[in-house]
Amino acid sequence: MKKMLTLALSRRFRVIRALMLFSVVFGSIKPCASQLYIGPDVNSLVIKSGDSFSYDGLTLIPATNFTLNDNTVTRTDARSISPTPTGNYVARYFSFSKTTAVFSGTIRFSYAGATLSPLTAGLLELNIRTDSTTWTNKSGTDNGSSYVEATVSGAHTLNTLTLASIGVPLPVTWLYFSASLRNNAVDLNWATAAEFNTQHFLVQHSSSGVKWQTLELVEAAGNSATPRYYSCAHTNPSFGNNYYRLIQQDLDGKQDYSDIVRAWVGENGRSIRVYPNPVSHGELTVCLIEDAVCRIFDATGRNVLSLPFRAGIHKLDVSGLQRGLYHLHCSAEVFPIIIP
């Protein structure tokens, strides 16, 4: 007859002690993953009702005796579950090599140090896969900073545990959004990793980053579990800074914002803009798309002003110069300037 060692674990029982008392082997198997092996027979583990067992961020407090026998518990810090939960889930999960043991009680899942993006702490719930395909959501309580605790009623086998978004999936999971200048137009490209009930994207532009104007409406995929790629072009951007963002609107009227991206645009193929000309009130504005040294020469060719500038918009005080025609040299470009 097989022998079983039944142990009452204290509520503060730690994994290191489990290693010492139960001949449990614990070691690193690959980056961002760890394993706990529980052997058969006398090396099996029984967690008494009301006692607790903790392993690497997972705590089990069974309502009835829970036996782990000839089982390997693995923690993996990655999004590599297959099949996946219904919603977006964190980059951490615990998996059990055997699912014959049933569990009823409290499960605490720590997400401290795990990658949450695009999810938000405080809005997570426990997701349990009881077999190779079936997922069950357990809302529980998210303390908003490090863990979710949920009560599991009835008899559940523990195959895989992770944390996912509360309720329905987020409408969109962004992969990237970029803006690049091409022939005085700005190409906008973006991609989503997954979409749920998405309707369309509003492409918005701003010269200040404060006030926004919608440029275009781009239809979305609706529902997709695979990457989707989108693009459009802004054919008449402003000189200087151009800011862009996306507003994704779903079929329920909810919306989600992308990050803001920026593109710097020259004028008519030029990397420099100078105004007003003639000069007004002794001040000249110079807009640069890249770093440059700007020099002003008078009608005789004498260098009367020389200043290095970073890319951006700069104000030059030329009130000390006499009236007449001057030439502004910036990089390889030359601008005639009139000081009235």
Answer whether 313's CB lies under 8 Å from 326's CB.
no
Q: Is residue 153 located within the same domain as residue 203?
A: no
Residue 1 included in any domain: no
pLDDT > 70: percent of the chain: 87
Average the pLDDT over 295-314 and give the result: 88
Q: How confident is the model at residue 55 (pLDDT cuts 50, 70, 90)?
A: very high
Q: Which residue has the tokens 């459009």?
A: 232
Q: Is residue 24 located within the same domain as residue 151?
A: yes
Supply the mean pLDDT for the chain: 81
The per-residue pLDDT for range 252-288, each reduced to its tens digit, is 777 888 989 988 776 655 667 888 889 988 999 888 8
Q: How confident is the model at residue 27 (pLDDT cuts 50, 70, 90)?
A: very low
Q: Is residue 210 located within the same domain as residue 161?
A: no
pLDDT at 8: 32
Answer whether 13's CB lies under 8 Å from 54's CB.
yes
Answer whether 90's CB lies under 8 Å from 114's CB.
yes
pLDDT at 144: 82
Average the pLDDT over 8-21 and give the result: 34
Neighbour order of strands in the sheet with 303-309: 303-309, 292-297, 324-330, 333-339
Residue 125 included in any domain: yes
Q: Is residue 301 located within the same domain as residue 232?
A: no
The per-residue pLDDT for range 137-193, each reduced to its tens digit, is 887 888 888 999 999 887 788 999 999 987 655 678 888 999 988 877 899 999 998
CA distance 143 to 84: 24
Q: Pairing state of beta strands 172-182 and 223-224?
A: unpaired
Residue 176 included in any domain: yes
Q: Six-digit token pair at 165?
A: 């978004």
CA dihedral 134, 138, 139, 140 (to 10 degrees): -160
- CB neighbour class for 15 (10 Å; exposed up to 12, middle 13-18, buried from 19): middle
Q: Is residue 223 located within the same domain as residue 280?
A: no
Q: Give the domain extent around 324.
A: 272-339
Model confidence at 233: pLDDT above 90: yes
pLDDT at 146: 92
Q: Is residue 259 located within the same domain as residue 285?
A: no
**How many domains is the chain built from?**
3
Its pTM surpasses 0.85: no
Q: Is residue 230 located within the same domain as residue 279?
A: no
pLDDT at 263: 84
Q: How confident is the model at residue 220 (pLDDT cuts 50, 70, 90)?
A: very high
Residue 6 included in any domain: no
Model confidence at 4: pLDDT above 60: no
Residue 128 included in any domain: yes
Residue 249 included in any domain: yes
Residue 94, domain CATH: 2.60.220
Residue 332, domain CATH: 2.60.40.3080
Instruction: Report the candidate in 175, 177, 191, 196 with the shortest Cα–Cα distance to residue 118.
Output: 175
CA distance 121 to 143: 8
Q: Which residues contact 13 (CB under 8 A, 6 or more apart)?
A: 51, 52, 53, 54
Average the pLDDT over 5-11 and give the result: 32
The per-residue pLDDT for range 88-139, each reduced to its tens digit, is 899 999 999 987 778 889 999 999 999 888 787 888 899 998 887 888 888 7
CA distance 124 to 166: 5
Please give the single-letter amino acid code of residue 177: F
